[in-house]
Structure 1
Amino acid sequence: MSSSFESTQSVAIIGGGPGGYEAALAAAQLGAQVTVVERAGVGGSAVITDVVPSKSLIATADAAVAISEATDLGVQFYAKGESGKPLKPEVAINLAAVNKRLLSLARQQSDDMRASLAEAGVRIITGEGRLESGNAVVVSTGPGGTDFDRIEADTLVVSVGASPRELPTAKPDGVRILTWTQLYDMKELPPHLIVVGSGVTGAEFASAYMNLGAEVTLISSRDQVLPGEDRDAAAVLEKVFKRGGMHVLSKSRADTVENTGDGVRVTLADGRTVEGSHCLMAVGSIPNTAGIGLEEAGVQMTESGHIRVNRVARTSVPNIYAAGDCTTFVPLASVASMQGRTAVFHALGDAVIPLERRRITANIFTAPEIATVGWQEKDVEDGLINGVIHKLPLAANPRAKMMGIRDGFVKVIARQGSGTVIGGVIVAPRASELIYPIAIAVERRMTVDQVSRVFAVYPSLTGSITDAVRAMHIVDHSDA
C-alpha cells in the first residue's frame, strides 16, 4: 500500500544486503533522499556468497536425486553400447559448470537489485562505510582507504550482515579447509567432504553434497543433527542422511583441522581422527560490526558484537536502526528484509507493525526440507504455552505416494480450548512452499476449524494440512 505522504528526510544505509536493500526501497517509496553504501555488491553476502548460490547448488542436488530416483517411478535411462546392448548411464556432476552457473545467477540477481535501486532514485556508493557520530556516514571509496565521502542523514540504518566464524585450530585456507563462501571455487566434486557443524548451514551443505555424489561425514557436537529444531524433523533428516550413506558422528566435537597436503585430518576431542579430501567449517557466524563506529555513536551491543534492536529495528540511539544478521533478532534473509522496511516506516512516520518472533516462518533447505512457524512442540512440553499437537505422516498422502515420497510429515500445533493455530512443522519436498497456509493461519489467528473449511486440491500435498486440522476438530472449545 502506498503512503499518502512524501518525506523530506534523508536516509543513509550501510550495507546493501536484504535488510539494506528493502530499507532503501521503502525509504525511496516514501520520498526520502536515500544513499546506500555497499562494499561487495547490492544484495550483500546473502545474494553473492550465501543464500542465492547455496540454494542454487541445492537445486542442482535435488535434480540429481530426481534423476537417480526416477527408476522408482518406472522411468529408466539407457544408452546403447557398441554391441547394441543397453547400458545404464550414471549421473555425473560437472561441479565447475555448476559453480560457474550459480555464481553467475548470484551476480545477475545482484545486478537486478542494483537496477531496482537505481530506478527508485537511490544513490549507491561502493566502499567501506562507518558511522561518524549519530548523523553521518563516512565512506572509504579509494584503494587503501585514500578517498573519502561523507554522507549526512536524518536516519541511519546499519545492515552489515555477518561472516563465517573461524576457529583458531581450524583456520580456513580456501583450498582444503573451507568456509561456505569458499566452496564455489572447487572445480571437482570433493571425494570425501567432512562437514564440521550440524546446524542449518552444515546440514544443508551435507545434504547437498551427499546428493551430488560425494562421500560425506557430518560431525555434530550434539546428540542430533539440527540441535534446537523439532526433534521429529531432525530424526527424519538423520534417517535420510544415514540411508544415503552419510557418516553422522553425534556427540563429537572437532578440536583441530589440518591440511595434510592431499587431504584433511580432523582430530576430535576424544582423540579420534577423521580423514577426508576437504573440510567445510560450518560453526556459526560473527556480525560484521567491528570498527564501524557503533560504540562511539552510543549504540548498545552484545558481547558477541550483535546490535541490540527492538521490535521496530531501532537501536539504543533514536535515529539509528539496524537490520539483519548483525542484530540480536532472527538471522534470516526474510527477517532482514522485514526489519529494513519496518525500520524505515517507523523512522519516517508511516504505519508500522512491530515484528513478532512467533510469526516468523523459517526453512531448512535439506532434502527433504524442514519448514517451521510459530510455537513448537518443545514449547508445549516445557509449559510455555497450553497447546495440542497433531502429526500426520506424509506417506499417507495420495499425492506423496504418486510422487514416490517416503519421508516427512505435517505437524500442526493449536491452542488448547480455542483451537487457534499457533504453530506448525512440515518436513517434505518444497516444505518452504507448503508452510505458507499454516503461516497465514498463525498470522491471522485462525482456528483449526476455519482452516479445515478451506478447500485443498485433491490430490495435493497441501491436503495433508487439511487432514491434520480436520483431525483436530475434537479439540475442546468449551473455554473459547
Structure 2
Amino acid sequence: MSGEFERTQRIAIIGGGPGGYEAALAAAQLGADVTLVERTGVGGSAVITDVVPSKSLIATADAASAIKEATDLGVQFFARGADGQPSRPEVAINLRAVNKRLLSLASQQSDDMRASLVEAGVRIIPGYGRLDGPHAVVVSTGPGGTDFDRVEADTLVVSVGAAPRELPSAKPDGERILTWTQLYDMPALPEHLIVVGSGVTGAEFASAYMNLGSKVTIVSSRDQVLPGEDPDAAAVLEGVFRRGGMKVLSKSRAQSVTREGDGVVVTLEDGRTVEGSHCLMAVGSVPNTAGIGLEEAGLQLSPSGHIRVNRVARTSVPNIYAAGDCTTFMPLASVASMQGRTAIFHAMGDVVIPIDRRLIAANIFTAPEIATVGYSEQDVTDGKILGVVHKLPLSANPRAKMMGIKDGFIKLIARRGSGTVLGGVIVAPKASELIYPIAVAVDRRLSVDQLSRAFTVYPSLTGGITDAARAMHIVDADAEAGDDA
C-alpha cells in the first residue's frame, strides 16, 4: 500500500555551471524529476568565459614557451632566406586564431554537457531564475524581466556562480580596460599589458601573456605575487616572472585606471603612474546572489553576499542547497562539481561523505604550475599540526634535467612520529597532474614510508615524490631520536 503514496522527487536547479550540471546529472541518475534553469548556456561562465577558455589560452602560451626554450635542448629552428642563408624565424602569435579556437572549444564543451543532460532526461529552461519562497523557482526573460515559467520543487539547488569584481575608479570598457571575461575580444596581442591584482587569476594571465610575447607589468599590493599561497612557490614564480622580463610592482596598490587614447594609465596610491596598452583588472569576484530571492526565502548570506553552506552544501533552509563560487566554500570548479553531487546525494538519501577542505587539491596554471593539497608548511610553523617538512628541488630530478626544467620543487608535509602524509606542494610543469599521488596519500592517510614503497618509473618527475618521501623517513627517525633524547 505504501507504493501508492510514493512520488518522484522534484528538483529545480538555478545555474548550469559545474555545480548545477553535476547536481542535475546526479539527480537524474537517481530517478528525480529534474529542471535546470540557465541563462548563458550549460557549463555556465566557468565553461564559456572562464576556466575552459583561460586554460586553453594558457596551453597555447605553454606551446609558445616550449618552442622558444627548445634551443636549450639542442633544437634549433631555421628558415632559408632569399639569399639561401639560414635565418632564425620568430615565434608569432595569431591572437584572433587563438581566441577563435578557445571560444570554439568552450562552445563545444557546453554543447557536450547539454547533450549529456538531455540524454539523462533533464528539462532545461533558458532564462533567469529566482526563488519564489523555499519551494519554487520563477524563470524570467532577464533581470526584472517578464516571468514566463514557474517550477515547483521539493529540493532546490542554487549554483549561480560569480562575476568579476569591478572598481568605480577602474571601470572596464571592454577594449582597453578589461575583466578576464573580456580578454578574448582582443584582435591582437597587447603590446603592454598591465595586470592589477597578483592573486591566482592575475598571476595566471600575467604568465600566459608574458609567454605569448607581450610586455607585462603586474601590480601587487603585497610583498610578492600569490599572497596566501606557499611562500616558496610564490618566490619561484616571481623569479620566473622577473627573469622573463615581467615588471613586478610589489607593495603597490592601484588607485585608479583611466583610458588615454589608445592606451591606459594606472595610477598607484603613492602617486606613481604606469602606462600601457591594456589593463586587466583581476581584483577578485562577487557572487551573483543579488536580487534572486535568496534572503526572502530564508537563506543566510555572508557580508560579501556568498551563501552560507555546510559540508554537504546545505543552506540554512533545509530543502535548499547551494554549490560553487556563490557559496562560502572554496571557489574551484572541482569543488563546485563535488558540492553539486554531494547536495543531491544528501537530499535524496544516498551515501554522503561531507566535503573536507583539507582533501581538496588545487592548482594555479602559471608556468610553472603550482599545485597544493592538505596542510601547509605555515600550518606547521603556526603549531596547528605537529609536522615535519621536506622540500626537494626539481633540479635534482634526472627527468627534469633531461627536459631542461630548472625551476620548481616537491614539498611534503607529514605528521611527526607517525609519518602520515598531511599535505604537499608541487611547483613544476603539469603540477596539476603530479599532485594526484600526494592527494591520494592525504585522503587515504598513507605514511611517507607507504608512499615511498610505491614503484615509480625511472626516470620520471613522479620519482621526485618517492624521493622526498624516502628522505622524510630519515628526517622522521632523527626527529623521534631527538625527542627521546
Same fold by TM-score greater than 0.5? yes
- Counterpart mapping for 1:392-471 below 5 A: 392-471=392-471
Distance 1:145 1:442 in 2: 49
Could you tell me how far 1:262 is from its partner in structure 2? 1.1
Structure 1: gaps of 5 or more residues: 1-5
In the alignment, what sits opposite 1:135? Answer: 135
Q: Name the structure 2 match of 1:72.
A: 72
Q: Which residue of 1 aligns with 2:473?
A: 473
Residues 27 and 344, structure 1, Cα contact 8 Å, conserved in 2: yes
Deviations 1:56-115 (CA, angstroms, capped at 9, x unpaired): 000000000010111111111110011110010000000011001000000000000000
Asked whether 1:279 is paired with 2:247, we answer: no
The answer (yes or no) to whether the contact 1:141–1:149 under 8 Å persists in 2 is no
Q: Deviations over 1:137-195 (max 9, x none)?
A: 00014797234100001000000000000000000000100000000000100000000
- Equivalent runs, 1:13-412 vs 2, <5 Å: 13-141=13-141, 145-412=145-412
CA drift of 1:28 comes to 0.6
Large movers: runs of 4+ above 2 Å: 141-147, 476-479
Equivalent residues of 2:265, 2:273 under 8 A apart: yes
The secondary structure found in structure 1 opposite 2:35 is: strand
The CA distance in 2 between the partners of 1:108 and 1:466, in whole Å, is: 39
* Maintained 8 Å contact 2:128/2:142: no
- Whether contact under 8 Å (1:178, 1:279) holds in the other structure is yes
Distance (whole Å) between structure 2 residues aligned to residue 437 and residue 45 of structure 1: 30
Query: What is the distance in 1 between the residues matched to 2:133 and 2:286?
Result: 24
Distance in 1 of aligned mates of 2:28 and 2:178: 39
Name the SS for the 2:208 alignment partner. helix
Partners of 2:209 and 2:413 in 1: CA distance: 33
Count of aligned positions: 474
Structure 1 letter corresponding to 2:366: T
Whether the aligned pair in 2 keeps the contact of 1:7 and 1:30 (CA below 8 Å) is no
- Is the CA contact 1:7–1:348 (under 8 Å) kept in the aligned structure 2? no
- Match of 2:363, SS state, is strand
Instruction: For 1:425, give the aligned amino acid.
Output: V
Question: 2:221, 2:411 → 1: CA distance?
Answer: 27
Give the letter for the 1:312 counterpart: V
**In structure 2, C-alpha distance between the alignment counterparts of 1:360 and 1:466, rounded to whole Å:** 21
Alpha-carbon distance between aligned partners in 2 of 1:373 and 1:143, rounded to the nearest angstrom: 39
- AA aligned to 2:375 is W
Secondary structure of the structure 1 residue equivalent to 2:391: strand
Alpha-carbon shift at residue 8 of structure 1 (Å): 1.9
Structure 1 Cα separation of the partners of residues 157 and 342 of structure 2: 11
Q: Matched residues in 1 for 2:189 and 2:340: separation?
A: 38
AA of the residue aligned to 2:251: K
User: SS state of the match for residue 49, structure 1?
Assistant: helix
CA contact (8 A) 1:414 1:420 kept: yes
The alpha-carbon distance between structure 1 residues 164 and 454, as it changes in their structure 2 partners (threshold 3 A), is same
Change (3 A) 1:323 1:7: farther
1:316 partner amino acid:
S
2:102 alignment partner, SS class: helix
Q: Secondary structure at the match of 2:275?
A: strand
Distance 1:105 1:169 in 2: 34
Aligned-pair distance for 1:7? 7.9
Q: Are the equivalent residues in 2 in contact too, given 1:195–1:280 (CA < 8 A)?
A: yes
Give the 3-state SS of the residue equivalent to 2:124 in structure 1: strand
User: Per-residue deviation at 1:261?
Assistant: 1.5
Kept in 1: contact 2:298–2:317 (CA 8 A): yes
Q: CA RMSD in A?
A: 1.2
State the one-letter code of the partner of 2:246. M
Cα distance in 2 between the residues matched to 1:462 and 1:145: 54
Flag the 1:118–1:443 CA change in 2: closer, same or farther, 3 A: same
Contact 1:7 1:31 in 2 (8 A): no
Q: Distance in 2 between matches of 1:381 and 1:359?
A: 20
CA contact (8 A) 1:96 1:187 kept: yes
Determine the C-alpha separation between the residues in 1 that align with 2:15 and 2:410.
Answer: 38
Counterpart Cα distance in 2 of 1:145 and 1:227: 41
Find the residue that maps to 2:300 and give its secondary structure: coil
Task: Give the aligned residue type for 1:314.
Answer: R
Alpha-carbon offset, residue 239 of structure 1 = 0.2
TM-score (norm 2): 0.96
For the Cα contact (< 8 Å) 2:138–2:147, is it kept in 1? no
Distance in 2 (alpha carbons) for counterparts of 1:14 and 1:112: 19
Match of 1:3 in 2: none
Q: Deviations over 1:370-409 (max 9, x none)?
A: 0000000001101111110000000000000000000000
| Structure 2 residues not aligned, in runs of 5+ | 1-5
Amino acid at match of 1:324: G
1:471 counterpart SS class: helix
Equivalent pair of 1:411/1:425 in contact (CA under 8 Å) = yes
Pick closer, same or farther for the CA change 1:352–1:120 going to 2, 3 Å. same
Cα 1:408–1:7 change in 2 (3 A) is: farther
